[in-house]
Every structure is written in structure tokens, then in C-alpha cells.
Structure 1
Amino acid sequence: MVPVIYFYRNGEKLPQSELLSGAAGALVLNSVSAKDAGNYTCAATNVITGEELRLPQVIDLRVDYTDRTPPYFLLQQPATQLAARPGETVVLECPGVGSPRPSAVWSSPNVPNIYHNRSRVLAYGLQITDVQPQDQGSYVCRLDNGIAPVLVHMIKLSVLERPRILRGPNSTLTNEGDALTLECDAIGHPQPHIYWLFNGEDASLDNETNIELNRLVIHHVQKWHAGVVQCFARNQLGEVSDKFLNDVA
């Protein structure tokens, strides 16, 4: 007669329902978890005499259980926009966590080369030292640990730049009563604000003038418009100016 096989875990008999049907001596553990860890032994019982024979073999089952999770940000969404002055050091933060720990791959749709001798990938972001104007653009951090979904985070880096006047108005000779348009082209980041002075006075207070972005329009030139005209370009990093002489005939 075929004996009945029993299994024990840490000395406690397991129910027959856990045995594999039709396969003597097999124990099946479905969806193994930490509760299944322990020492396993087996015994054969004679159903007629009730005699039990325990086998000396012991199986030590260890279950390493890790909660697998896709990448995510632990506290809050990191910054999506950063600004830095030339020469500064900036860190584009992308501190993703997950199980297993995700790795970050950086790219950019508009910065040709983000891996150079001034950049370094840290555990929590991309560090750029001695920031240069060519570093300005969008940076994409892709966090992946093999568990979907992949976490994608974009950061826009702006490199601040002092204003520079590229082209100021030239000295002019204008007839009284004529219209006159003056232009002052400047660059910088953020884009500089342009304002004008007539002989040290705010040109926007003159009823004959109108300021349109980088242009000063004088609808009807008057005698008081003669003299020194200045255009100024200003942003948060500083201010520059250009001046010229306007003569009214």
C-alpha cells in the first residue's frame, strides 16, 4: 500500500490540500511569499498501522521579498524651469526612487551636447559647472527600472545674460513738424526692456511720442526734441545705454 506523505514547516504539519494531486511526495507553494519561509521536512505514514517515518532531509526555504514599484518622485515634482548666470554651477534635479532603484538617462531636443567636461550625472540629477550660453535649452530625464511606466521629466534651463545694444540710432537732422522713428536693438536674457530719454527726461511723458517695443516714434518733431537722445536696455542683470544727437531744423 502506498504510504501517505505529509510535509512539515517549522515542525507544524501542513494540510493535505497543499500537496500536488497525483504526484506523491510533491509539495506545491503557489505565489511564494515571506510567510512560506522556514524549514521543511516530510514524513511517510502507513495508513493501516499508523506508523510514521520521518525523513532526515531538511529543506531551508528563504524568501527574499521586495515590493517592486515603478519610478516615482518621493516628495514632490522637481522644478521644471531653472535659471543660472554664466559661470555658475547648476543641478537639474531628477531624484527618482523605486524598487529596484531606477537609473537616469539624460537627453535634450535642442542642446547638441549635454555630456562634456563641465557636466556630471549625479544620483539625484545632472550637474553643470561653469554654465555657458550654449547650455540653455530643454533637458529630458528618463527614469527606468524595468517596471512600467517609465518616468519622464523635462527641465528648461535659461542662461541669464546682461543686456547688449547691438544697434542704436544714428545722429539725425530732422525738420520741425516731420515724423521720426528711432530704433534701438538689444539682446540679453531675459529679453531687455527698452526705454528712452530726451535730454535726461523720460520720453514716454512727451505727448508727441509713442514707444513700440524697441522703437521710439515722434509724430511731430518739435524744437525741444533737439539734443541728446538716449536708449537704455535693462534686465535683472544690469543696464546699458547708447546715445546720439538729434538736431531739429
Structure 2
Amino acid sequence: MGVTGRLVCVVINQMDNPVYWIHKWTQTTISTDDKIVIDDAHNTIVNGWPKYQVERTYSGERIIYTIIVNRLEPRDAGLYTCQILVRGSNEHPSKDGEMVVLIPPAVIMSVTSNTISVEENDKVNLTCGASGYPTPNITWVRVNGGLLPNEELRHQGTFYSIDPVQKEDRGVYRCLADNNVRPPAVHDATLTVIFRPTARAVQSSYGQAENRMFDITIECRIAGWPEPDLQWYKVLSGGSLSPINNDDKHTINILLNHANILDPNERWFQMVIRSVQANDFGDYVCKGCNDLGCGEGVVNLFATSECQGPNCPPEQDVPSKSPTSALSFSILLLISVLFIIN
């Protein structure tokens, strides 16, 4: 598409009979002999070049008529008829030639999935429609590079079905349309799965020294859709839960992305406990809840003898006496003793 196409017609014994080039599908007469006869509205000039040109050349008894179509468009594709209008006869010899216009793929948005939301264990059909010539091949892959739910790396076809849908299937699915005409077309469809929250501790336990002004950060990963409400709790004696909010002692953070390891609809949920004291030790619960229920993870904080974590102060090195210093001291002492005896 956008380049120049040519079709050649070789005529013998033309005499005074005219030769026509006709676009067969639209029955539009483009040229007579070496003259363009189509109206100017269909023969627009761009950068000095008309849409249609016709060339007449000679090779012995043969006359060669070449129809030239510039700036090829999809509507230029199809059969073109080279016809000799024999005067005084009902027979008009003709030959057809096909102009093939290679068209790069384009996604047909009206029949293509964009964002789909389904409940866990339901069925979903992802659809990708594309135009182009030749007809594009459709391939489905996961944007994160993982396997498709059916354990395939890629799937060929306009439709991709997932039945039943699991929460692990959520994410972005990419439709690739390719027919070897550059460039290929790409479209991303987002699958959102409605599911009960799940929570898991990044580490099951953390240690820190008490009463030495050291902080500790405990963390969980919580996923769910619709977006869950997140809360930290301290487990009290007897098993009851005491909610924790931001205050001078605690700083709570919700991270939407963390080192590019979070899954869709997953949050990195952390709490900083400042200046750890003896009464801070014990179990903590991270909890996420939405309309479908709750999920929780448990983190234990225990006492250590030394500071733990990346923000601990450097250890102080105790200087030791060198052998040279000790030797100098011994010599001075010996001289002093001798001096007293004398």
C-alpha cells in the first residue's frame, strides 16, 4: 500500500482499433490507447504525480500498454481488463490482470476485547479481529511473558477461551496480527478477575533489639478485586486483634508497585514500628477485605541481642595496642628502674 503498481498488456495487429484499460470491479474506464480518460476527480495529482498513467511502447509488431497506478490504496485492488474495441465487430478481445495491494494488519476495535471483568470460576472469551491483505494470522500471548492458562506459550486464532477463570489468570493478554506486511498490529486486552482477597507475609518473622531506638519494617503482599481495604492488627493476649493506624509509633505504607514483582491487583503492604520496645514483640496480622470476604497473613516480631536490618548503625571498632607500642613501654620502664637503682 502506498507504492506504485503496474500491469502490462501486449497487443498484436492493433491497426486502428482502440485499446482500453478498465477497472473491472467498478467498470471504470481509465485509459484509451496512451491517454488517461478517467475524470480528474479520480486522477488527483500529488507531488506532481497523477493517480493513473498509461505508457505505450513498441517492440516489433507488438504494442505494449502499461497501466500505472500510483499511491496504491485498498480500493485499487482487483481485476483490470485490457480490451481491444474492434470496429465493426461484436467480438472484443480482452485479458484480465490482477492488481494485488498488500495491506498491513489493523485491529478492528468493534469486534476486539478491551477490558473484561469476570468472577472467578466463570468462563471468558477473548476476541481479536483484524483487517489486512493477505488475511492476518492472530496470535495470543501474555504480556508478562508467562504461560497462558492452558499452559501454552502462545495461542493461534481469533478467539481465546479460558474456562474456568482463576485469579491467577488476571492480567494483560496481547493480540498480535501479522500477515508479513510491515508493521504488524498489536492490541492489549486486560482481564480483571473478581476474587476474594489473599494475603501472605513477605517474611514470617522479623527480629530486632529492644530499647535501643531501633526501628523494624514488617511487610505483606495482599491481592483482591474489587480493591480490598487493608489493615494492620496487633494480636493481643487471648487472641483478640487491636487495629493499628498511622501514629507516632507506626507508619503504614501501601505500595502499588515494588521492584516490578507485584501481580495485577496486588499491593505491597508494610508497617514501620519505631523504636522497638519489649511490648512490641509478638504476632501481627495484615488483613485485606472486600465484598467477597477477607484474607490475612501473620508476621511474628521477636527480640534479638543486636540491631537487625539495613539501617543499623555501624559497629565501633575497639583500637588495640600495637607490638611496637608495647615494646617501647617496656624499654622505658626498664630504663626508669635502672635509674632508680643507681
Answer with 107-116 or 31-40: which moved more: 31-40
DSSP 3-state at the match of 2:67: coil
Q: Answer whether contact 1:37 1:63 (CA < 8 A) is retained.
A: yes
Return the alpha-carbon distance in structure 2 between the equivalents of residues 36 and 103 of structure 1: 28
Q: Which amino acid aligns with 1:217?
A: I
Residue in structure 2 matched with residue 40 of structure 1 by the alignment? 84
- Is the contact between residue 79 and residue 99 of structure 2 (CA under 8 Å) also seen in structure 1? no
- The match for 2:273 among 217, 225, 228 is 217
Secondary structure in 2 aligned to 1:28? strand
Inter-CA distance 152–162: structure 2 relative to 1 (3 Å threshold): same
Offset of 1:84 from its aligned partner?
4.5
**How far did residue 233 of structure 1 move?**
1.6
Q: What is the RMSD computed on CA atoms of the aligned residues?
A: 5.3
Contact 1:39 1:59 in 2 (8 A): yes
Distance 1:205 1:8, change over 3 A: closer
Give the alignment's TM-score, normalised by structure 2: 0.45
Match of 2:58, as an amino acid? S
Distance 2:181 2:91 in 1: 39
Pair 1:231-2:231 in alignment: no
Query: Is the Cα–Cα contact under 8 Å of residues 82 and 156 in structure 1 kept in the other structure?
Result: yes
The answer on 1:87 being equivalent to 2:108 is no
- AA of the residue aligned to 1:106: W
State the SS of the aligned residue for 1:188: strand
Per-residue CA deviation, residues 80-127 of structure 1 (Å, 9 max, x unaligned), is 76554431333444322223432212234622345569x98653x433
Percent identical pairs in the alignment equals 15
Amino acid at match of 2:273: V
Contact 2:33 2:65 in 1 (8 A): no
| One-letter identity of the residue aligned with 1:126 | Y
- CA gap 1:81/1:36 in 2 versus in 1, 3 angstroms: closer
Counterpart CA distance in 2 for 1:64 and 1:113 is 42
Cα distance change on mapping 1:241 and 1:22 into 2, 3 Å: closer
* 1:48 corresponding residue in structure 2: none
The match for 2:166 is 132
Moved more, 23-32 or 194-203: 194-203
User: Is 1:29–2:66 an aligned residue pair?
Assistant: yes
Match of 1:20 in 2: 57
- Structure of higher RCO (CA pairs closer than 8 Å, 6+ residues apart): 1
Which whole-Å CA distance do the structure 2 matches of 1:96 and 1:222 have between them?
65
Aligned-pair CA distance for 1:58: 3.3
Deviation at 1:131, TM superposition (A): 1.5
SS in 2 for 1:72: strand
Q: Distance in 1 between matches of 2:18 and 2:61?
A: 15
The alpha-carbon deviation at position 37 of structure 1 amounts to: 3.0
Whose radius of gyration is greater, 1 or 2? 2
Number of residue pairs matched by the alignment: 224
Question: Closer, same or farther in 2 for the Cα pair 1:121/1:16, shift >3 Å?
Answer: closer
Mapped pair 1:8 → 2:18:
yes
- Output the TM-score relative to the length of structure 1: 0.57
Moved more, 75-84 or 85-94: 75-84
- Aligned equivalent of 1:97, options 116, 131, 134: 131
Residue correspondence of structure 1 range 135-214 to structure 2 within 5 A:
135-136=169-170, 138-155=172-189, 157=191, 159=193, 161-166=195-200, 185=220, 187-189=222-224, 193-196=230-233, 202-204=243-245, 208-211=249-252, 213-214=269-270
Matched residue of 1:146: which SS? coil
